[in-house]
C-alpha cells in the first residue's frame, strides 16, 4: 500500500525511481545540522536531484526558501513543481539565467519571482543579494530572506563557464557572510563530479558536508 | 579554470573519437540525410547507449509507426534489447497529434508534457521533417522546440529527411548545436557507400570531412579516416 505522502504521478517506473531518490534524500538529511551541504551526483541526475530536494524541503518538511537558478530558467523548474503538485507558495526564485529587471516579476500564479538577469550578474550579486530582496515590495516577496530556511543552487558545475575563479571565490566568501547574518539559512549546493578540480575544491572548502549520490542514486 | 562541457557516449563506434569523446550534454543535434542512410538506426543506437549507461531515453516517432512495427523492423539489431522499451527507452508516436493539430503549440505542449513527466537525458525525434506542415510558424516552432529541449537538460537528436540535392534542412540547422550529415554514393561496382560527416558541433574541436560508415545488425560503425 502506498503511503499518503506519495501522491500518484504519471510515469510508471520513473515514479518508483523518483520516490526512491526522495526517500534516500529524506533519510540522508534527517536531522541534518550542517548548514552548507554539497551534493555531487552524475550529470544526468542533476535535474531530478533539484526536483527531489525541493519536493523534500517544500512538501515533506514544509520549509520555505530560495531557489537560485544558474543553469536553466526558473520557469522550467516551476513547471516541474506545478506538474507534481509540489507547493511553490513558500519558494522565491532568484533567476540568473533569464534576463530581466532587478526586482519582482510575476508570471502566472507564481507571485514571488526575482529575475535579476544575466550570468555575469553573479559577481554583482554577491554584494547586493540582500538589497535585491529588500528592494522587492512586500506583496511580491513570498519568502523574505530572514524567513527563508534554505537556499538551493541548481547546478554549480556551469559556474566556470561565466565567471572567473576570483569572482567564484568572492561569491562563496559573500555566501559565508550571508549565512552568518541569517542563522536559519541552510545552503544546498549541487554539482556533478566531472568539473575542474579547482572548482571542486572551492565547493568542498565551502561545504560542511559532502553527499555523494552513487550507484542507482547518482 | 575552464568550464568542462559534459560529453555522453553516442553509442556509435568511431564517432566519439571524432568529437572529443562524445556528444555535448545537453545539446540539440540534427542528423540529416536521404532515406536509407541510417538516421533512425543512429538514433536508436544513441538511446541504447543511454540505456546501458542507466539513463532514460525518449523516442518520438512522427512517422505514424506503432511500437509493434518498430520492434519488428529493429528485431535483428543486436544492440537494441526489447526490454529497454517501456523501461529505459520510452516510445511515443506523435503522428496522429501532428496531423490533427491546428497549431504547432499543441504539439509543443504534448512534448512538454512528455518531457516534464519523464525527464529523459536522451531524446530522439524521428523526424522533424513533418513539422514543415506548420510552414507559417516553422521558425517559431523550431525556436520553441529548441528552447524546451535545452531546458529539459537532455541531448536531443532530431532526424531530418533531405533529398539528394539538399545537404541538410537549413532552417533546422540554424537552431541546433550540431549537424551530422549522412550520405550515400554509388560505387563503381553498382553498390552504395554510406558516409558520416560532422558538419558542425558547438564547443567541439571535431574531425572534419566525410568518413565511411557501415551499417549491419550491430548498428552503425564509422571508419574514421576512410573516405
Query: What CATH number is associated with residue B175?
Result: 3.40.50.300
Whole-angstrom CA distances from B64 to A147, B22, B32, B72, B86 are 53, 31, 19, 15, 18
Interchain CB distance below 8 Å, A47 and B119: yes
Residues of the domain holding B58: 6-223
Number of domain units in chain B: 1
Q: How many CB pairs under 8 A join A and B?
A: 60
Extract the C-alpha cell encoding B86.
517501456
How long, in residues, is chain B? 227
Q: How far apart are CA B110 and CA A32, in angstroms?
A: 40
- B35 has a chain A CB within 8 A of its CB: no
Interchain CB distance below 8 Å, B117 and A11: yes
* Mean pLDDT on B11-24: 97
Extract the C-alpha cell encoding A49.
536531484
- pLDDT of the residue at A196: 93
Residue A146 to chain B, least CA–CA distance (Å): 31
What is the SS3 assignment for A109?
coil
Q: What is the pLDDT along chain A (218 residues), one digit of tens a residue?
A: 344 444 444 433 445 778 899 999 999 998 888 999 999 999 989 999 999 999 999 999 999 998 888 888 888 898 999 999 999 888 888 777 765 544 444 444 444 455 554 544 555 555 556 665 665 555 455 677 888 999 999 999 988 887 888 888 988 988 898 899 889 999 999 999 999 999 999 999 999 999 999 765 55
Q: How far apart are CA A138 and CA B216, in angstroms?
A: 65
Nearest CA in chain B to A75: B151
Give the confidence band of B170 by pLDDT, cuts at 50, 70, 90.
confident
Q: What pLDDT, in 10s, does the model give residues B27-74? A: 999 999 998 899 999 999 999 999 999 999 999 999 877 777 878 888
Extract the C-alpha cell encoding A150.
534554505
Residue B188 placed within a domain: yes
Instruction: Identify which has the larger pLDDT, B5 or A123.
Output: B5
Residue B85 placed within a domain: yes
Q: What pLDDT, in 10s, does the model give residues B69-92? A: 878 888 889 999 989 998 899 999
- B86 has a chain A CB within 8 A of its CB: yes
Residue B1 placed within a domain: no
Q: Which residues contact B53 (CB under 8 A, 6 or more apart)?
A: A44, B8, B9
Angle between helices B104-118 and B138-151 (to 10 degrees): 10
Residue B134 to chain A, least CA–CA distance (Å): 25
**CA dihedral defined by A11, A17, A19, A22, rounded to 10 degrees?**
-130
- pLDDT of the residue at A8: 41
CB A167 within 8 A of CB A120: no
Nearest CA in chain A to B90: A11
Q: Identify the burial level of A147 via C-beta atoms within 10 angstroms of its C-beta, where 0-12 means exposed, 13-18 middle and 19 or more buried.
A: middle
Q: Cis ω on the peptide bond leading into residue A191 (within 30° of 0)? A: no
Q: Is B84 left (phi over 0), alpha (psi -120 to 50) or beta?
A: alpha
Q: Identify the burial level of A205 via C-beta atoms within 10 angstroms of its C-beta, where 0-12 means exposed, 13-18 middle and 19 or more buried.
A: exposed
CB A152 within 8 A of CB A50: yes
Residues 81-110 of A with CB under 8 A from B: 83
How long, in residues, is chain A? 218
Give the confidence band of B24 by pLDDT, cuts at 50, 70, 90.
very high
Mutate to test the interface with A, among B116, B120, B203 (most CBs of A within 10 A): B116
What is the ipTM, given to two decimal places?
Answer: 0.85
**Domains delineated in chain A:** 33-213 (3.40.50.300)
Which residue among A46, A76, A158 sits closest to B151, beta carbon to beta carbon?
A76
- A12 has a chain B CB within 8 A of its CB: yes
User: Which residues on chain A are in Cβ contact (under 8 Å) with B112?
Assistant: 79
* Mean pLDDT on B169-177: 88
Q: Which helix (H) or strand (E) holds A7?
A: none
Pairing state between β A209-212 and A186-192 = unpaired
Which residue among A9, A47, A198 sits closest to B153, beta carbon to beta carbon?
A47
- A13 has a chain B CB within 8 A of its CB: yes
- A54 has a chain B CB within 8 A of its CB: no
What single DSSP character describes residue A119?
G
Nearest CA in chain A to B153: A47
Amino acid at each position: 500500500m502506498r503511503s499518503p505522502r506519495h501522491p500518484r504521478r504519471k510515469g510508471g517506473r520513473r515514479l518508483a525511481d523518483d520516490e526512491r531518490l526522495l526517500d534516500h534524500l529524506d533519510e540522508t538529511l534527517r536531522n541534518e545540522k550542517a548548514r552548507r551541504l554539497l551534493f555531487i551526483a552524475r550529470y544526468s541526475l542533476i535535474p531530478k536531484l533539484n526536483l527531489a530536494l525541493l519536493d523534500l524541503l517544500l512538501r515533506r518538511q514544509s520549509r520555505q526558501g530560495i531557489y537560485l537558478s544558474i543553469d536553466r530558467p526558473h520557469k522550467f523548474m516551476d513547471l516541474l513543481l506545478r506538474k507534481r503538485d509540489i507547493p511553490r507558495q513558500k519558494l522565491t526564485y532568484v533567476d540568473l539565467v533569464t534576463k530581466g529587471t532587478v526586482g519582482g516579476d510575476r508570471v502566472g500564479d507564481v507571485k514571488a519571482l526575482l529575475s535579476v538577469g544575466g550570468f555575469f550578474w553573479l559577481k554583482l550579486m554577491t554584494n547586493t543579494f540582500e538589497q535585491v530582496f529588500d528592494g522587492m515590495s512586500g506583496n511580491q516577496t513570498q519568502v523574505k530572506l530572514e524567513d527563508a530556511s534554505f537556499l538551493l543552487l541548481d547546478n554549480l558545475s556551469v559556474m566556470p563557464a561565466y565567471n572567473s575563479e576570483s569572482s567564484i571565490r568572492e561569491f562563496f566568501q559573500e555566501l559565508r557572510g550571508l549565512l552568518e547574518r541569517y542563522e536559519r539559512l541552510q545552503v544546498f549546493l549541487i554539482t556533478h563530479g566531472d568539473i575542474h578540480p579547482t572548482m571542486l575544491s572551492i565547493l568542498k572548502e565551502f561545504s560542511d558536508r559532502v553527499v555523494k549520490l552513487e550507484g542507482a542514486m547518482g | 579554470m575552464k568550464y568542462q562541457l559534459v560529453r555522453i557516449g553516442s553509442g556509435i563506434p568511431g564517432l566519439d573519437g571524432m568529437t572529443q569523446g562524445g556528444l555535448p550534454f545537453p545539446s540539440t543535434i540534427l542528423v540529416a540525410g536521404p532515406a536509407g542512410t541510417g538516421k533512425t538506426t543512429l538514433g536508436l543506437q544513441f538511446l541504447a547507449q543511454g540505456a546501458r549507461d542507466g539513463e532514460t531515453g525518449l523516442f518520438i516517432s512522427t512517422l505514424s509507426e506503432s511500437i509493434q512495427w518498430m520492434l519488428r523492423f529493429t528485431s535483428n539489431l543486436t544492440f537494441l534489447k526489447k526490454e529497454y522499451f517501456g523501461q529505459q527507452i520510452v516510445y511515443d508516436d506523435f503522428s496522429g497529434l501532428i496531423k490533427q493539430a491546428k497549431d504547432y503549440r499543441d504539439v509543443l505542449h504534448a512534448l512538454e508534457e512528455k518531457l516534464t513527466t519523464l525527464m529523459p537525458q536522451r531524446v530522439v525525434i524521428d523526424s522533424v521533417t513533418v513539422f514543415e506542415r506548420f510552414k507559417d510558424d516553422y521558425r517559431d516552432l523550431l525556436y520553441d522546440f529548441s528552447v524546451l529541449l535545452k531546458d529539459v537538460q537532455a541531448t536531443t537528436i532530431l532526424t531530418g529527411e533531405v533529398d539528394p540535392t539538399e545537404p541538410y534542412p537549413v532552417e533546422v540547422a540554424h537552431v541546433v548545436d550540431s549537424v551530422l550529415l549522412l550520405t550515400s554514393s554509388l560505387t563503381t561496382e553498382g553498390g552504395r557507400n554510406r558516409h558520416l560527416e560532422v558538419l558542425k558541433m558547438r564547443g567541439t574541436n571535431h574531425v572534419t570531412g566525410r568518413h565511411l560508415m557501415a551499417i549491419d545488425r550491430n548498428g552503425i560503425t564509422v571508419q574514421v579516416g576512410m573516405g
